[in-house]
Structure 1
Amino acid sequence: MAVPAAEAPRTQGPGGEEAVASSEVTLSGDEIAEVQGGGYTAALLWHTAGAFTDAVSQGARDAFAELGIEVIAETNAQFDAAQQANDVETVMALSPDIIISLAIGPDAGAEAFRPAVDAGVQLVFLSNVPQGYVHGQDYVGIVTDDLAAMGITAADLLADALGGEGEIGYIFHDAAYYVTNQRDQAFKTWIEINYPGIEIVAEQGLADPAAAEEIATAMLTRNPNLDGIYAPWSAGPADGVLAALRAAGASDVALVTMDLDTNVSLDMVEGGNVVGIAADEAYNLGRTMAIEGAYGLLGKPAPAFAVVPAIGVTADNIVEGYRQSLAADPPQEVLDAIG
């Protein structure tokens, strides 16, 4: 009996929504003029701080400025759901017309943002949607990465580095989170579909990022001929894998991961284990969220689930990669290492 061909990975929203390219989220000249004349305000309620959030925030601020929308607040909940609820309450006292945010936890997020929904604020979410919220009624839209493209990009980067042949280890995020689950699965599926010369000889789930070094060490011990490893993201998991590779003296094992971060970028430009990083257009995420906020003000239906493109970053294009992803140059220590 013939085995059916595996389907190419496809990005879907948390509720199975079809992905729409962020390039399709646009406003006409008349729509821009209407928003510019409205005297509207917006608040940015972030879940954490860092280079990624900074880039999303800058993209949103730039788009809001072009639309004549004043940003009246920006907060950082430090991944604390109670703090996020407090941030919503504080910001609601300023009566913003738009709030863009990443909701921390589906249930806690549903409660935290309820005052904004009840007040008719236009809500646009990054990646997560609060439990029970209805698109077009409680919120304008969700914007995130093209998750399948991220996984496919990581697979191509590793396969290129290995010349299409070798044995690899696959470390995936062992938690029910559609963003990492789809990225990880796309990597695995793409390797299996397109690279018959590459065999995944070890698979291990990762629930706690701090366990990555231990997992990678065990993988290397059991599979001494390992040629490459996939880590689900950079800050934490890939750092742990790098530490294991260095401790084992495994300088010839290629590592690929997701999301630009200083440690993995530095290793890559110094010719270490990291051969490629799949990144998203974080700045573009913010721009798209801001434009969707304007959709809400205009009563224009926005796509339920919009995605920004993935970028493959190597030592050869790291400066351009940072600029395209984060709208910033790499950290100084990375630039110094490039020379």
Structure 2
Amino acid sequence: MHITRPGRRFGARIAIAGAIALSLTLSGCAATSGPASTPTSSATQPTLTFAGPNGEKPDALSALSLTADEIAKVKAGNFTAAFVWHTSSDFVTAVEKGAREEFEKLGIKVVASTQAGFNAATQANNVQTVLALHPSIVVGIAVDPTSAAKAFQPVVDSGTKLVIMTTPPAGYKAGKDFVSIVTEDLSKAGKANADIIGKEMKGEGEVGYLSYNANFWFTNQRDQAFKDWLGYSYPKMQIVDSEGFADETATQTIAAAMIAKHPNMKAIYVSWATAAQGVVAAIRAAGRTDIKVVTNDLDTTLAAAMVGNGPVAGLVGNGSLGIGQGLALAGAFGVLNKPAPALVASDPTSVTGDNLKDAWKADYGSDLPASVGK
């Protein structure tokens, strides 16, 4: 999941979270290089767990279960819900679709959906607009965690149940200020990336690693999980160059240098999809038909580059519908005053050329765009 700037994609894109987008917008700086990394294989199996922004340990979506009596109480409560998003995107649309479907099953009426265009002041205004409708539940994600602490405080003070997608306001605690965080399972996403490229390369060869170089809990852990699982599951594969970027528009230049420096490199991992578009452009500009890319988030441009043995080996979706379902169920926990897990994770979706159409539908709940050409 990466949260992109307006006019470009997350996922979502988790998109990644609003904090990433804000960091990219404010930094305005070129990518920086990290030291080359050549990890040896590990005999110890990596963990399939991760930690939330405040050290929360994740539970599966199945932990958000309601009894028949609890569902009946929610349906009888005439509860309402509103969305306070950071931006609009295909990922957000898919998450909201999953949430709306679950809210409908629970008899909870959605009264508003707002998006802030990655503007913290706009989001603060949206909070006030939504609260005027007196919703029982607010589903939100902070554009900027620091300013969001003040912006979302009226939600907390009003007794409205706040549910968070990925990025909470700074200082907010689960069970006190909000019900739960719902996000993607980062360790499973990293493993899925490693498995896609490992199988594509038949377990051997040189790999490039291009990651987001700022301190952000979500992306950092997903990137590290890829490295850990690649080293464990595919010991004959070696990361020969590890580079960082702060601005996703710089990835083409960085990837071009990596390709020139390592003529035997046959794969590149990138933190998220819109950043990977520049890597695909660099591969094509170099005339290299033997280098494959793997990355996170569903993206129509990269999906098209997967068709016909193109340069993209696969994508890892965020489990978008599942995230939406989890947000709605967490909201129901809130109005019931039922203790909820602090952090809940949706399973990611591995997408390759073999399952592109079905996997896209499973993750986004919509048909593969005709522009992809499959």
- Shorter-chain TM-score bucket reads over 0.9
Select which of 315, 336, 339 maps to 1:277.
315
The aligned counterpart of 1:79 is 118
Specify the alignment match of 1:91 in structure 2.
130
Deviation at 1:84, TM superposition (A): 0.5
Corresponding position: 1:166 with 2:214: no
Q: Contact between 2:61 and 2:326, CA under 8 Å: does it hold in 1?
A: yes
d(CA) in 2 for partners of 1:270, 1:333? 14
Q: Deviations over 1:264-303 (max 9, x none)?
A: 0001013211011111210111111011101010010010
Secondary structure of the corresponding residue to residue 35 of structure 1? helix
Structure 1 position 9, deviation (Å): 4.7
Equivalence for 1:180: 219
Q: Residue 307 of structure 2 aligns to which amino acid in structure 1?
A: V
In the TM superposition, residue 7 of structure 1 has moved relative to its aligned partner by 3.5
Task: Indicate the residue corresponding to 1:49 in structure 2.
Answer: 88
Name the amino acid aligned to 2:63: E
Which residue identity does 1:292 align to in structure 2? A
Q: Distance in 2 between the 1:13 and 1:76 partners?
A: 24
Aligned residue for 1:227, secondary structure, equals strand
Match in the other structure for 1:314:
352
Aligned residues between the structures: 333
Listed one character per residue, the Cα deviations across residues 42-71 of structure 1 (whole Å, up to 9, x for unaligned) are 101111111110010011111111111111
1:210 paired residue among 216, 237, 249: 249
User: Who is 2:168 aligned against?
Assistant: 129
Q: Which residue of 2 aligns with 1:259?
A: 297
2:282 counterpart (244, 257, 267): 244
Q: TM-score, normalised by structure 1?
A: 0.96
Does the 8 Å contact 1:9/1:189 carry over to 2?
no
Pick from 302, 327, 335: which aligns with 2:340?
302
* d(CA) in 1 for partners of 2:218, 2:334: 25
Structure 1: where are the runs of 5+ without partners? none
Instruction: Identify the residue that residue 66 of structure 2 maps to in structure 1.
Output: 27
Query: Secondary structure of 1:278's partner?
Result: strand
Change over 3 Å in CA distance of 1:49–1:174 after alignment to 2: same
Check if 1:63 corresponds to 2:102.
Answer: yes
* CA-CA distance at 1:76 after TM superposition: 0.9
Q: 2:122 is matched by which residue type in structure 1?
A: Q
The match for 1:144 is 183
Q: Give 1:179's aligned amino acid.
A: F
Partner of 1:325 in structure 2?
363
Contact 2:84 2:115 in 1 (8 A): yes
Contact 1:9 1:190 in 2 (8 A): no
Identity level (%)? 43
In structure 1, what is the Cα distance between the partners aligned to 2:185 and 2:307? 26
Paired with 1:238 and 1:204, the residues of 2 have a C-alpha distance of 13
Distance, in Å, in 2 between the alignment partners of 1:294 and 1:44 is 14
Aligned to 2:231: 192
Larger deviation, residues 20-29 vs 239-248: 20-29
Aligned counterparts of 1:245 and 1:7: Cα–Cα separation in 2: 31
Aligned mate of 1:286, from 324, 328, 337: 324
Contact 2:82–2:139 (CA<8 Å) still a contact in 1? yes
Deviations 1:216-268 (A, max 9, x none): 00101111111110011112x11000010010001110111111100000010
Pairwise CA distance, 1:189 = 0.9
Q: Which amino acid counterpart does residue 250 of structure 2 have in structure 1?
A: A
Instruction: Letter of the 2:172 partner, please give it.
Output: Y
Contact 2:313–2:352, Cα closer than 8 Å, also in 1: yes
Measured against aligned partners, the alpha-carbon deviations of 1:104-158 in whole angstroms (never above 9, x if no partner) come to 1211111110011000110000001111112111100000000010010000000
| TM-score, normalization by structure 2 | 0.87
- Contact kept, 8 Å, 2:189 with 2:316, in 1: the verdict is yes
Q: Secondary structure in 1 aligned to 2:361?
A: helix
How many angstroms apart in 2 are the aligned matches of 1:63 and 1:4?
42
